[in-house]
Amino acid sequence: MPQYDINDPTDLDIMRGQFNMYTADEWQDYIDIAEERSIGYKNINILKSAQRKAGIAKYLSPKVIQWVLNLVDRLDDDEEE
């Protein structure tokens, strides 16, 4: 995932759009993968928060959105290897 600046409105809109593309079921898949790999309870809890807010990124802070998207990217990269 490219590095986005959370202070740039354009980058923030892109991040929110990417977040909103994931459904609650897709978030559950990521949660299951994260639990299998034991990536830490904070990371798993933030994925669960993302699942609850699926499709409504406007209720999450830019830092949380960036954290979650980085986690998804990391889990996807690990999956490909």
Q: Which residue has the higher pLDDT, 3 or 43?
A: 43
Q: What is the pLDDT of residue 2?
A: 73
pLDDT at position 3 over 70: yes
Q: In whole angstroms, give the CA distance from residue 79 to residue 65.
A: 21
Q: What is the pLDDT of residue 81?
A: 59
- Cβ-based neighbours of 60, under 8 Å, separated by 6 or more: 19, 49, 50, 53, 68
Span 50-60, pLDDT tens digits: 999 999 998 99
pLDDT at position 73 over 80: yes
Domains of the chain, by residue range, sit at 9-80
- Cβ-based neighbours of 30, under 8 Å, separated by 6 or more: 47, 71, 72, 75
